[in-house]
């Protein structure tokens, strides 16, 4: 009989704190205070897809956003706290690709590659999905830890389109969160997705484009074997192999200096130092 | 153990060897298949409405604002409207602010200084020099900025600025510059330092340098108040009161357009001489029109742009106010330093259709263009010895009405020519110290920083000289 007592009020606290709704309500916008970050989040995307709006919504900063491709030419950084973890978020310049043919593309690529963020959020203009997915596919070549933020869903509705975010998530193999950042819609789900990927609760299996002539396939396999022998934990051996075959000096140099290897099991302090180096360039 | 250790050098050697096998075009094939995949995945996810909407508002607007016939007139009309709203709307709050800060607070502060027994010169330096300069800057600059910036930001957020860039792109290409220079120039209309940073969107170093050097020709926020005030006093005064606002706005637009023309001219000159090279092509995406969130935009543009620019002006106005006060109150043989300087520069100033006062004001105002007008006013009182206005030598002040200000200027020997040339010189002179520093940071070159700084000054001197001579020639004939 006595075992049947009502649960004490305090015992409800534990499940409550793990509930996403509770977390979203406790998003702490830290602004530029991002000391002792547990996780680093990179914010990538094509120009004019609302990256800065997402950035502002998460950090509480008011970086000016404009309806203007190329608005963000430098990297902006901010912080937030969510689900008891502190996040540092870096707003990268908007780019159409990661081929590093111009300064802004290079900044974005180097950060995703060498900064090794715990999560790379790719902000995507849902009304221009085809062109935006090019960048998503390229980011997914470099890292597994991707969350796609399917932004501007308000515009999708205005243009009377429908975008099937679940099918997209299945096809891409990474979490896809529909948002309308300007109105704050979907930010709670985005935070949850970031948190899940950062903490390892969700592990993406990104779809990777496989175009290979027999000669290329052979070459890539041979290189990947060698690279993985040297750096067993590298998440993007294939991408590195392709860059080396393409004669990318910067990647070759990084390989020689062991920068790629260090990062596959590097700690945060090291990573922060790395980012400083990149930032100073 | 037969485990073979791999070194980075091994990998690079393998890569080197394998590159011969795979050929050099595999990368294009990879990109191609990536694009195909992107298209396939996107296509699976998107459902388009069955029926195409008959009328696409965005496209219709685009056709209008970027059309050959209406593009430019619409652009000018829109700019004129923005300036007219700024000029007409800023008047009343400006008067309130100057009443509060200058007429009410300043005597209280000065009286307080006397009460606590400050020596007269500290009291003067603090409240007649530093406080008044700052208060002047706030009351003159805050209202126009608080109107201009939100309006400009609304245009930007709605997506109009990229259309401006689209309209101008062709012309920039023709003068050998990068089309994206239209974007950095438009940013320069807000602040040249921001415009210089914005040139980072231009990949080619050659075209980027052209964009940096010519950014100063975009009339920046610190110079709008000068333009607006002089236009209101002298140009608006030429016509009946009900037309004055419109004509003033149009003359400011004319100066802004002239700046754009100079931008073309200098770009053309540079790309034909020291910065010769190919014009790179690029694709400019016209973003969709997005209804801006009006209140949020107004809030952020007031906080981010207005207050930041104002803060900068205040920081520079404080020491400048002190310097002006000192230069007007330290005398040698009964003549103040300011008067020496003015007399020294007066002949040159007159040759340029300006005067010594204006030249001294521009030297004092190198840190911040915003304080040109207050300095001019103060120095004019000093040299004309006008009595009954202001509060004595070296004191910046606000006159009660535009008519009084006009009267003072006329006593100082100002004519319509002086006003026009002041507007021209305000457009064509060295960038402010913040912009100069930004240019240095972006180019990392002393040479290009010097060129960017000195080129506009020489052009300003040449243009005002030319205008003055032609003006006098015509006036002489009439």
Domain final residue pick, A136, A164, A199: A199
Residue A243 included in any domain: yes
Residue A151 β-bridge partners: A125
- In a shared domain, residues A101 and A233: no
Residue B336 pLDDT exceeds 60: yes
**Chain A neighbours among B 148-167 (CB < 8 Å)?**
153, 156-159, 161-162
- In a shared domain, residues A149 and A268: no
Distance from CA of A79 to the nearest CA of B (A): 19
Residue A133 — very low, low, confident or very high, per pLDDT cuts 50/70/90? very high
Contact A229 B19 (CB under 8 A): no
Domain final residue pick, A199, A225, A260: A199
Q: With beta carbons less than 8 A apart as the criterion, state whether B338 and B382 touch.
A: yes
- In a shared domain, residues A87 and A111: yes
Q: For position B444, what pLDDT does the model report?
A: 87
- In a shared domain, residues A122 and A248: no
Average pLDDT of the residues of chain A: 77
Q: Is A74 near chain B, with CB under 8 Å? A: yes
Q: Is B318 exposed, middle or buried (0-12, 13-18, 19+ CB in 10 A)?
A: middle
Shortest CB distance from B157 goes to which of A66, A215, A227?
A66
Query: Range with the lowest mean pLDDT among A263-267, B131-135, B333-337?
Result: A263-267
Residue A142 included in any domain: yes
Contact A103 B33 (CB under 8 A): no
- In a shared domain, residues A175 and A243: no
- In a shared domain, residues A56 and A105: yes
Alpha-carbon distance of A105 to A57, in angstroms, equals: 24
Residue A53 — very low, low, confident or very high, per pLDDT cuts 50/70/90? confident
Distance from CA of B40 to the nearest CA of A (A): 8
Residue A6 included in any domain: no
Neighbour tally for B464: CB within 10 Å? 25
B345-367, pLDDT tens digit by residue?
A: 989 988 898 888 888 888 877 76
Alpha-carbon distance of B62 to B65, in angstroms, equals: 5
Q: For position B266, what pLDDT does the model report?
A: 93
Residues of B in contact with A230 (CB under 8 A): 6-8, 11
- In a shared domain, residues A28 and A148: yes
- In a shared domain, residues A231 and A180: no
Residue B309 — very low, low, confident or very high, per pLDDT cuts 50/70/90? low
Residue A21 — very low, low, confident or very high, per pLDDT cuts 50/70/90? low
pLDDT over 90, % of chain B = 12
Total domains in chain A come to 2
- In a shared domain, residues A250 and A141: no
Residue A50: which domain range? 15-199
Residue A42 pLDDT exceeds 70: yes
Chain A residue with CA closest to B154: the answer is: A66
Residue A124 β-bridge partners: A150
Residue A2 included in any domain: no
Average pLDDT of the residues of chain B: 80
Residues of A in contact with B196 (CB under 8 A): none
Q: For position B367, what pLDDT does the model report?
A: 67
Q: For position A266, what pLDDT does the model report?
A: 42
Shortest CB distance from B6 goes to which of A47, A229, A242?
A229
**Chain B neighbours among A 75-114 (CB < 8 Å)?**
101-104
Q: Supply A6's token pair.
A: 């009502």
Dihedral, CA of residue A88, residue A89, residue A93 and residue A96, to nearest 10? 130
B167-209, pLDDT tens digit by residue?
A: 887 788 888 888 778 878 877 877 787 788 778 777 778 888 9
Contact A242 B153 (CB under 8 A): no
Residue B93 pLDDT exceeds 80: yes
Residue B87 pLDDT exceeds 60: yes
CATH of the domain at A64: 3.40.50.300
- In a shared domain, residues A137 and A68: yes
Q: For position A148, what pLDDT does the model report?
A: 96
A248-267, pLDDT tens digit by residue?
A: 888 888 888 777 654 444 44
Does the pTM surpass 0.80? The reply is no
Alpha-carbon distance of B38 to A69, in angstroms, equals: 21
Q: Is A48 near chain B, with CB under 8 Å? A: yes
- In a shared domain, residues A274 and A172: no
| B221-to-B133, B142, B145, B146 alpha-carbon distances in Å | 18, 11, 8, 11
- In a shared domain, residues A163 and A94: yes
Residue A205 included in any domain: no
Residue A209 included in any domain: no
Domain final residue pick, A136, A167, A199: A199
Chain B residue with CA closest to A131: the answer is: B38
Task: Supply the ipTM of this predicted assembly.
Answer: 0.77
User: Cα–Cα–Cα angle for A179, A181, A185, nearest 5°?
Assistant: 55
Chain B residue with CA closest to A161: the answer is: B48
Residues of A in contact with B39 (CB under 8 A): 130, 133
Q: With beta carbons less than 8 A apart as the criterion, state whether B72 and B257 touch.
A: no
């Amino acid at each position: 009989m006595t075992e049947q007592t009502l649960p004490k009020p305090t015992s409800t606290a534990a499940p409550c704190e793990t509930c996403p709704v509770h977390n979203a309500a406790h998003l702490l916008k830290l602004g530029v205070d991002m000391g002792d970050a547990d996780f680093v989040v990179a914010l990538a995307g094509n120009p004019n897809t609302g990256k800065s709006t997402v950035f502002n919504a998460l950090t509480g900063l008011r970086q000016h956003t404009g309806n203007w491709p190329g608005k963000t030419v430098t990297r902006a950084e901010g912080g937030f706290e969510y689900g008891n973890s502190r996040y540092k978020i870096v707003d990268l310049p908007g780019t159409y690709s990661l081929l590093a043919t111009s300064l802004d593309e290079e900044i974005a690529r180097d950060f995703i590659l060498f900064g090794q963020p715990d999560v790379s959020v790719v902000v995507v203009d849902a009304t221009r999905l085809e062109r935006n997915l090019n960048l998503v596919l390229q980011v997914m070549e470099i890292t597994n830890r991707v969350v796609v933020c399917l932004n501007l869903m308000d515009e999708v509705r205005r243009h009377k389109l429908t975008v099937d975010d679940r099918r997209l998530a299945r096809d891409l193999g990474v979490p896809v969160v529909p948002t309308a950042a300007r109105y704050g819609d979907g930010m709670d789900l985005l935070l949850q997705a970031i948190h899940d990927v950062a903490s390892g609760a969700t592990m993406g299996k990104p779809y990777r484009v496989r175009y290979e002539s027999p000669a290329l396939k052979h070459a890539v396999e041979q290189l990947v074997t060698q690279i993985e022998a040297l750096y067993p934990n590298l998440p993007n051996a294939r991408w590195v192999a392709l860059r080396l075959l393409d004669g990318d000096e910067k990647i070759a140099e990084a390989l020689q200096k062991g920068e790629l290897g260090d990062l596959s099991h590097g700690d945060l302090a090291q990573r922060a130092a790395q980012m400083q180096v990149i930032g100073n360039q | 153990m037969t485990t073979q250790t791999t070194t980075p050098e091994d990998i690079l050697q393998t890569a080197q060897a394998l590159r011969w096998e795979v050929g050099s075009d595999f990368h294009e094939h990879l990109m191609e298949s990536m694009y195909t995949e992107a298209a396939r995945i996107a296509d699976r996810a998107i459902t388009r409405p069955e029926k195409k909407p008959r009328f696409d508002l965005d496209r219709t607007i685009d056709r209008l604002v970027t059309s050959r016939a209406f593009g430019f007139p619409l652009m000018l009309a829109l700019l004129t409207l923005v300036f007219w709203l700024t000029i007409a709307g800023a008047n009343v709050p400006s008067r309130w602010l100057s009443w509060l800060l200058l007429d009410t607070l300043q005597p209280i502060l000065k009286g307080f200084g006397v009460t606590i027994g400050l020596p007269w010169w500290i009291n003067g330096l603090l409240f007649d020099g530093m406080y008044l300069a700052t208060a002047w800057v706030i009351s003159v600059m805050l209202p126009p900025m608080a109107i201009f910036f939100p309006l400009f930001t609304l245009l930007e957020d709605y997506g109009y600025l990229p259309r401006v860039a689209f309209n101008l792109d062709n012309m920039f290409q023709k003068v050998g510059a990068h089309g994206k220079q239209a974007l950095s120039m438009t940013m320069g209309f807000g602040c040249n330092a921001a415009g210089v940073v914005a040139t980072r969107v231009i990949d080619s170093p050659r075209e980027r340098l052209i964009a940096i050097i010519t950014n100063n020709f975009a009339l920046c926020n610190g110079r709008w108040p000068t333009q607006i005030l002089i236009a209101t006093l002298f140009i608006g005064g030429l016509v009946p009161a009900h037309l004055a606002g419109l004509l003033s706005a149009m003359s400011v637009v004319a100066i802004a357009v002239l700046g754009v023309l100079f931008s073309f001219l200098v770009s053309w000159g540079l790309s034909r001489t020291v910065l010769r090279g190919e014009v790179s092509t690029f694709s400019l995406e016209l973003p969709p029109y997005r209804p801006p969130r009006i209140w949020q935009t107004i809030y952020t543009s007031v906080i981010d742009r207005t207050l930041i620019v104002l803060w900068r002006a205040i920081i520079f106005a404080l020491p400048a106010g002190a310097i002006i006060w000192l230069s007007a109150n330290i005398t040698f043989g009964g003549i103040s330093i300011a008067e020496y300087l003015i007399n020294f520069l007066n002949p040159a100033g007159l040759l340029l259709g300006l005067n010594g006062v204006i030249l001294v004001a521009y030297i004092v105002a190198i840190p911040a263009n915003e304080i040109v007008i207050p300095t001019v006013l103060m120095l004019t009182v000093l040299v004309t010895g006008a009595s009954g206005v202001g509060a004595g030598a070296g004191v910046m002040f606000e006159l009660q009405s535009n008519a009084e200000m006009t009267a003072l200027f006329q006593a100082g020997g100002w004519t319509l020519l002086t006003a026009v040339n002041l507007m021209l010189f305000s457009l064509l002179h060295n960038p402010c110290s913040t912009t100069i520093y930004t240019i240095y940071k972006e180019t990392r070159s002393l040479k290009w920083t010097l060129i960017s700084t000195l080129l506009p000054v020489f052009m300003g001197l040449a243009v005002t000289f030319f205008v003055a001579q032609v003006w006098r020639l015509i006036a002489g004939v009439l």
